[in-house]
Amino acid sequence: MLTCLLLSINHTGKATLVQAWRIAAFCLTAAARHRLGLPDINPEDIHQVLASSRRFYRAFDRLTTVLDPVRHDRRARLPQHQADALATAWEDDDPAHSRKRELLQDIVTALVLTPVRWAKGRGYLRHFRGDVGIDTTAALSSPAHPGPAAPLGS
């Protein structure tokens, strides 16, 4: 799944799950699918296509569940007491939580910064005046840790 996200960034400039799944399902060679442990699917068989999509999204969910020290629905607005409890758990000093939090942050930062760095390297931002900041809030949000806004040059 992460390999396909990186391929998506490389080929489309975006790190979206749908594009990564399309690459995994329809664009890889048989040898590449075999090396990644992906089953062959018939693009004309809707049941195989849907099953492949569901497996891909479940894999992403399992990965984020393993890496997230405090799993919850990040699209829902929480009452303040619940948000405070989650923020406390997110900032927990426990070594296992710290390791997961740092790894998750590294993955998100790489997924967000890579397309922007490539765009800058290809000259897509040459006419933009001023600084470029990157915000990972949509990719990694928690009550106490909304994600960094990193300067492009870093």
Residue 129 is predicted with a pLDDT of: 76
Q: What is the pLDDT of residue 78?
A: 79
Q: What is the average pLDDT value for the chain, to the nearest integer?
A: 77
- Cα separation, 56 vs 38, in Å, equals 10
Q: pLDDT for 108-137, tens place per residue?
A: 788 778 877 887 788 877 777 776 666 655
Q: What is the mean pLDDT of residues 37-44?
A: 89
DSSP 74: T
Q: pLDDT tens, 66-108?
A: 777 666 666 677 788 888 887 887 778 888 888 888 888 888 7
**What mean pLDDT is predicted for residues 33-40?**
87
Residue 115 · residue 14 · CB < 8 Å = yes
What's residue 74's pLDDT? 65
The pLDDT of residue 136: 53
The burial class, CB within 10 Å (0-12 / 13-18 / 19+), for 138 is exposed
Position 128 scores a pLDDT of 73
Q: What is the pLDDT of residue 8?
A: 82
Is 60 exceeded by the pLDDT of residue 146? no
Structure tokens at 128: 């933009």
pLDDT digits (tens, 9 = 90+) for 44-62: 999 999 999 999 999 888 8
State residue 50's pLDDT score.
93
